[in-house]
Amino acid sequence: MSCILGCWKKSFDWVIHEKNTKSLLDFFSDWFHMLFFIQVTKRALTDHMLGNNAQHTKAIIIDEKNYEPNQPVKAEFSYSYMFIANGKQYTGNSHNTKLSIGDTVEVEYVKSWPSLNRPLHPTD
């Protein structure tokens, strides 16, 4: 019994040790910065590519919810849309909380890279 508690205590001491905590914080900080960089890069690439090579099409709202971050008690969400380009299905966030499943929305996408897409008239 004392070995179990002793081993657990050593493991716990390792987790809360200042050096390991700093390493864990560095890890999460690096992870956050990487995700932020990816989002900014994707948005810039999408804006650039759509500015030069946008294709327009109609998309249908599907039953896939996108929750808005940092919502208090009642989380707001918008539905995703789905469209077909080059024989394949693609989806995106409508960014419109007033749309319902089955509604249509106009989207633009890059002809050679349809996964880079966005709604033309988002509300947020």
Ordered by start, the domain boundaries in the chain are 55-119
- Other beta carbons within 10 angstroms of residue 108's beta carbon come to 17
Spatial distance between the Cα atoms of 7 and 123, rounded to a whole number of angstroms = 55
Spatial distance between the Cα atoms of 44 and 118, rounded to a whole number of angstroms = 13
The answer to whether 100 touches 63, Cβ cutoff 8 Å, is no
The pLDDT of residue 50? 77
The pLDDT of residue 17? 52
Spatial distance between the Cα atoms of 65 and 120, rounded to a whole number of angstroms = 19
Spatial distance between the Cα atoms of 23 and 14, rounded to a whole number of angstroms = 12
The pLDDT of residue 5? 47
Tens of pLDDT, residue by residue, the chain (124 residues)? 455 545 545 555 555 555 555 677 788 788 888 888 887 887 777 777 777 678 999 999 999 999 877 777 778 899 999 999 999 999 999 999 999 999 999 999 988 889 889 998 876 5
Nearest 5°: phi and psi at 53?
A: -150, 45
